[in-house]
């Protein structure tokens, strides 16, 4: 699998007595897509939350390259290149499509985004950033909606916009939590194409997705979780035929 970019060891999180994540190990290489799958409640979103810095691990370690990054808050994780999109879109509904997209750029990614819009130096940077955001809007098929409030977009379009914003941050590691949820099939293919493109630039993607066709289309390897633990890892074909995986899904 080549060099390891993101290394997770013994990651653990308990919520009020429930071991949501229980000793998870992961290794993620640059320019790969790792699928994180498993039944509802397996702990997938909690793993992503810890990788993004939104949830503080009770135990375990997250390393990005040579650095230990576990325990850092989300804006620090984002500055170090770990960017997440949410299971439900997290846009600013009153801001326009273009404004939402501009919030993806460094150096304000993740940190007090509203304030960033009015920060000193914004105007100067704005022209350059708009120059990069417009091609992204076109790629997303949202150029007609540049000045539309995000609230007016369809669910699928909002999802695309959120992913576009994450891409503009040029993540080292992109964490996608069910990016295809509520996205029409033709828009889904657009999302998949964007992920492919990002991976060719060296980004490592961790993808939580329940739609197996999407996993098959995008992932180089798959990690299966159940009850907070990794039960199997390998290629999709390897895990698909695994008895424990079948049990985990049937037992749902």
Ligand X SMILES: Nc1ncnc2c1ncn2[C@@H]1O[C@H](COP(=O)(O)OP(=O)(O)O)[C@@H](O)[C@H]1O
Least distance to ligand X, CB of residue 182, Å: 16
Task: Compute the Cα dihedral for 215, 7, 252, 209 and give only its sign.
Answer: negative
Identity of the residue, 77 or 140, whose beta carbon is nearer to ligand X in the bound complex: 77
Name which of Mg ion, ligand X, none residue 18 binds, using a CB cut-off of 5 to 8 Å depending on partner kind.
Answer: ligand X
Least distance to ligand X, CB of residue 49, Å: 7
Least distance to ligand X, CB of residue 13, Å: 8
Name which of ligand X, Mg ion, none residue 175 binds, using a CB cut-off of 5 to 8 Å depending on partner kind.
Answer: none
Report residue 132 CA to chain centroid gap. Answer: 21
Residues 36 to 75: which contact ligand X by CB under 6 A? 38, 40-46
How would DSSP label each residue in 48-96? HHHHTTSS--SEEEEEETTEE-TT--HHHHHHTTEEEE-SS----TTSB
Q: How far is CA 5 from CA 42, 119, 171, 172, 197, in A?
A: 24, 33, 12, 9, 19
From residue 15 to residue 34, the character string flagging contacts with ligand X as x (rule: CB under 6 A) and all else as - is xx-x-x--------------
Least distance to ligand X, CB of residue 105, Å: 29
Nearest alpha-carbon partner for 40 in 62, 20, 67, 15: 20
Site size toward ligand X (CB under 6 A) is 12
How is residue 139 written in tokens? 């790629």
Q: Which stretch binds ligand X (CB under 6 A): 14-22, 72-80, 105-113, 166-174?
A: 14-22
Identity of the residue, 41 or 65, whose beta carbon is nearer to ligand X in the bound complex: 41
Q: How far is CA 190 from CA 132, 163, 209, in A?
A: 19, 11, 16
What is d(CA 173, CA 73) in angstroms, rounded to the nearest whole number?
16
Name which of ligand X, Mg ion, none residue 243 binds, using a CB cut-off of 5 to 8 Å depending on partner kind.
Answer: none
Nearest alpha-carbon partner for 32 in 193, 205, 214: 205
Closest chain position to Mg ion (CB): 45
Least distance to Mg ion, CB of residue 163, Å: 17
By CB under 6 A, tell whether 8 contacts ligand X. no
Identity of the residue, 99 or 209, whose beta carbon is nearer to Mg ion in the bound complex: 209
For residue 27, the tally of other CB atoms under 10 A from its CB is 17
Strand partners, 68: 63
Least distance to ligand X, CB of residue 225, Å: 7
Binding site for ligand X (CB under 6 A): 15-16, 18, 20, 38, 40-46
């Amino acid at each position: 699998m080549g060099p390891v970019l993101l290394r997770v060891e013994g990651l653990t999180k308990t919520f009020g007595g429930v071991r949501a994540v229980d000793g998870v190990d992961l290794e993620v290489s640059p320019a790969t897509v790792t699928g994180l799958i498993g039944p509802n409640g397996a702990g997938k979103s909690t793993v992503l939350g810890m990788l993004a810095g939104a949830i503080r691990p009770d135990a375990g370690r997250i390393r990005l390259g040579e650095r230990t990054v576990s325990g850092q808050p989300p804006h620090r994780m984002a500055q170090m290149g770990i960017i997440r999109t949410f299971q439900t879109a997290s846009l600013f509904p009153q801001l326009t499509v273009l404004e939402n997209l501009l919030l993806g750029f460094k150096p304000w990614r993740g940190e007090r985004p509203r304030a960033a819009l009015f920060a000193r130096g914004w105007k100067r940077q704005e022209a350059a950033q708009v120059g990069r955001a417009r091609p992204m809007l076109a790629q997303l098929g949202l150029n007609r909606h540049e000045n539309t409030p995000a609230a007016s977009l369809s669910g699928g379009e909002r999802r695309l916009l959120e992913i576009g914003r994450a891409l503009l941050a040029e993540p080292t590691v992109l964490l996608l939590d069910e990016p295809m949820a509520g996205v029409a099939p033709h828009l889904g293919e657009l999302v998949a194409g964007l992920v492919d493109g990002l991976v060719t630039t060296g980004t490592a993607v961790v993808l939580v997705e329940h739609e197996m066709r999407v996993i098959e289309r995008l992932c180089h390897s798959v990690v299966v979780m159940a009850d907070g633990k990794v039960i199997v890892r390998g290629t999709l074909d390897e895990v698909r035929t695994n008895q424990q995986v079948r049990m985990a899904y049937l037992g749902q």
